[in-house]
Structure 1
């Protein structure tokens, strides 16, 4: 039976997720075992090294190998992927506009609230959460 190929970035998310479930620093072999037998050890090490370059994991030497620890969560990794895609586009404004107009209303409200919270100035002095404002028109 043919193996199902993972989507781009999916394996990185799975590796980071496995690290996040660990009680402390773990080896690449631990991650490999956690994710299943269909992954080669070298694949896991490659993914961990890519995550290190993205600054979402840290490593410490133990003997001849490394122990790995997450420094960010899966949401941060997804945000980095989104940023990388955006950085690769010539017309950032058009891409952002298309992204926002394609969002479901609930996601658009959350995004608007997050952007409002990030803006300095008088509009940012309210002490309310995005959920508190989700029913307001933006």
Structure 2
């Protein structure tokens, strides 16, 4: 089972609130469905939280479409609908859509990349171009 280091990081998962981020980080790390009780127990190792607070946050994430749930006795087991990478890609898509000038936004984004990130982007673009061209 994953440890608790890294949760409650400032801006760990952008787009989520602090507690939503902590829940999502832990569920992604765990890699399998978990009950509110399990999440509450782990998050309380770092900070005092009411069970109902964690329940509300997880229910909100479910209603927003970020978690799915299945009955588990009188409770539910929750799991993320998307992985971290899919979530990050959606945030990037939303940021690009919200920019006034997509070309400038992309140039600014690329201009902040490390060499390793630029190489990974070039490889991803090549793979995508081959995929859509049918080659």
Give the TM-score taking structure 1 as reference length: 0.65
Deviation at 1:19, TM superposition (A): 1.9
CA distance in 1, matches of 2:126, 2:108: 20
1:28 aligns with 2:31: no
CA offsets 1:24-48 (integer angstroms, 9 cap, x no match): 4321121121122433434433443
Match of 1:57 among 49, 67, 78: 67
2:54 is matched with: 44
Match of 1:78 among 76, 88, 99: 88
CA offsets 1:60-117 (integer angstroms, 9 cap, x no match): 2345542202332222222222223333222222111110121111101100110110
1:110 aligns with 2:120: yes
Larger CA deviation: 98-107 vs 23-32: 23-32
CA distance in 2, matches of 1:71, 1:44: 18
Q: Which runs of 5+ in 1 are unaligned?
A: 126-138
Give the TM-score taking structure 2 as reference length: 0.66
2:3 is matched with: none
Give the RMSD, CA atoms, in angstroms.
Answer: 3.0
Q: 1:41 to 1:5 in 2, by over 3 A?
A: farther
